[in-house]
Amino acid sequence: MAHEKRTRLLVIGSGPAGLTAAIYAARAALSPVVLTGQQPGGQLTITTEVENWPGDTSVLGPDLMARMEAQVRHLGVEIVPDVASRVDLSHRPFLVETDGGARLLAETLVIATGAQARWLGLPMEQTLRGKGVSACATCDGFFFRGREVAVVGGGNSAAEEALFLTRFATRVHLIHRRDSLRADKTNQARILANAKVRIHWNREVADLEATPDRLALAALRLRDTATGALERLPVEGLFIAIGHDPATGLFRGQVAMDEAGYILTAPDSTATSVPGVFAAGDVKDRLYRQAVTAAGMGCMAALEAERFLAGHGAAAQPSLALA
């Protein structure tokens, strides 16, 4: 790749949001460039079966992303295996510098850098990911029909994940290291009223126990945060709901974000606080965090960038009212 390159549309990120933006932009003859980042294909490359992608009863996450990438390549999009390390969004064309030493000048930008779930950091956690350990009840809850599962966390996400899981699981253990939930009053009331949920107050997960063949989760080892005493809790599923971190450090101070670092966009739009910069997928979505919603937002971002470039400039872009 040339040391310096100009493009009409640069997509940062190669998950469902970024690749869908590239498909729509390519088909609008914008000749987009995609920066893959350190995780080409995004979060779905680290999972196994995906059963809620329309059109596929079941598809492996890495296969789905490989197919999306093939479609993008088929459309002639340049996919650059590099990581954005610095951006200057103060004027157009926007400047994006990469780890590989490239300087990309982009008339419009789609930020699709996604988010990463927070994990507990336990040694067995990564071994058992996809084998009982998950960070997404919407994605994986269905696999635990008739089983006993646990959720870790005490905020709204944990409460909502636990309530969702009661549709499938015979019992949902909510593990919380304090003696009260941070979830809002409505969620607290729902949790407390649900006979399938059992809350383990003042407990943290100290360790995970696998089945002898190490192919599935067998139990949790819980530590009493007050006394340090350990107890064993047999469960087949563990859902970690202690938050997500949007990958937005690069853009801090340059586009408007909420207090958790999610990029703010105008209503019904992917337009950010900077005219010509659009954000799509998990990087701006703390609510749904699904491949199909990310892809939908990628489509919106490309169409909005196209309109922006069609001569209307900032006037065509929905404005983001900042408090």
Ligand X SMILES: Cc1cc2nc3c(=O)[nH]c(=O)nc-3n(C[C@H](O)[C@H](O)[C@H](O)COP(=O)(O)OP(=O)(O)OC[C@H]3O[C@@H](n4cnc5c(N)ncnc54)[C@H](O)[C@@H]3O)c2cc1C
Please give the residue ranges that form the binding site for ligand X (CB under 6 A). Answer: 12-18, 35-40, 42-44, 46-47, 50, 52, 83-84, 112-115, 117, 135-136, 139, 247, 250, 281-283, 289-292, 294
State the nearest-atom distance from the C-beta of 39 to ligand X, in Å. Answer: 4
Q: Which of 41, 219, 232, 58 is nearest to 128 (CA)?
A: 219
Task: Give CA angle at 237 (197, 14), nearest 5°.
Answer: 115
Annotation marks residue 88 as catalytic: no
Q: Where are the alpha helices (DSSP H) in 137-217?
A: 137-140, 156-165, 185-193
Smallest gap from Cβ 141 to ligand X, in A, equals: 10
Distance (Å, whole) CA 112 – CA 42: 10
Q: Which of 82, 140, 282, 285 is catalytic?
A: 140
Q: Closest separation between CB of residue 244 and ligand X, Å? A: 9
User: Per the residue annotation, which of 63, 99, 136, 184 is the catalytic one?
Assistant: 136
Dist CA 92 CA 181 (whole Å): 46
Of residues 282 and 304, the one with the C-beta less far from ligand X? 282
Q: In terms of CB distance, is 61 or 276 closer to ligand X?
A: 61
Q: How is residue 310 annotated by DSSP?
A: I
Closer residue to ligand X, CB minimum distance, 126 or 186: 126
CA-based Rg of the chain, rounded to a whole angstrom? 21
Q: What is the C-alpha to C-alpha distance for residues 9 and 18, in angstroms, rounded to an integer?
A: 11
| Shortest reach from residue 122's CB to ligand X, in Å | 16
What is the separation of C-alpha 58 from the centre of its chain, rounded to a whole number of angstroms? 20
Nearest residue (CB) to ligand X, 299 versus 316: 299
- From the list 150, 152, 209, 149, the residue with the least C-alpha distance to 178 is 152
| CB-nearer residue toward ligand X: 193 or 287 | 287
- Verify whether residue 139 is a known catalytic residue: yes
Active site residue 299: no
d(CA 227, CA 33): 55
Tell me how crowded residue 207 is: count the other CB atoms within 10 A of its CB: 16
Least distance (Å) between residue 31 CB and ligand X: 19
Q: Are 283 and 18 in contact (CB under 8 A)?
A: no
The three-point CA angle 267-268-271 to 5° equals 70
Round to whole Å and give the CA distance between 93 and 272: 16
Name which of 130 and 171 has its Cβ closer to ligand X: 130
Task: Tell me the closest approach of the beta carbon of residue 258 to ligand X, in angstroms.
Answer: 16
- Exactly one of 82, 88, 139, 179 is catalytic; name it: 139
Catalytic residues: 136, 139-140
